Structure 1
């Protein structure tokens, strides 16, 4: 397994904060965006470098823009 990059870890933390703000479990959110929970969990841990398509899918699940998610990294 590759070591998580700092940017992937930052993104994972931002996604976890959004998910927790929605009061959804990883299982429930992964179901909402039709993604396997284990894969979504790895994203939150910063273990996956995701594509823009995946980021868009996650943003849609939260009902926010991709730019909003990225703005929350800093």
Structure 2
């Protein structure tokens, strides 16, 4: 059985951020988010709103639906 969706999305976001070579703190600042809140998203502890997903997607250079699609494949 696969992990819950928030955990899978968090994993996708973390992998993409790391692929960009950006620290968690620097990325959170870049997208205008508190580091603790952003960290909880990566760990799958927070369920985010769609506008937050879109903000993170833009910061990662992609689209929100692509992050959801990738998370659905885990």
Does TM, normalized by the shorter one, top 0.5?
yes
Instruction: Tell me the TM-score normalized by structure 1.
Output: 0.90
Gaps of 5+ in 2: none
Unaligned runs of 5+ in 1: none
- 1:57-72 residue pairs with structure 2 within 5 A? 57-72=55-70
User: d(CA) in 2 for partners of 1:48 and 1:26?
Assistant: 16
> Structure 1 segments of 4 or more deviating over 3 A?
none
TM-score by length of 2: 0.90
Alignment of 1:1-74 (within 5 A): 6-73=4-71, 74=73
Q: How many residues of Structure 1 are paired with residues of Structure 2 in the alignment?
A: 70
Report the RMSD for the aligned CA atoms in angstroms: 1.0
How big is the shift at 1:34?
A: 0.6
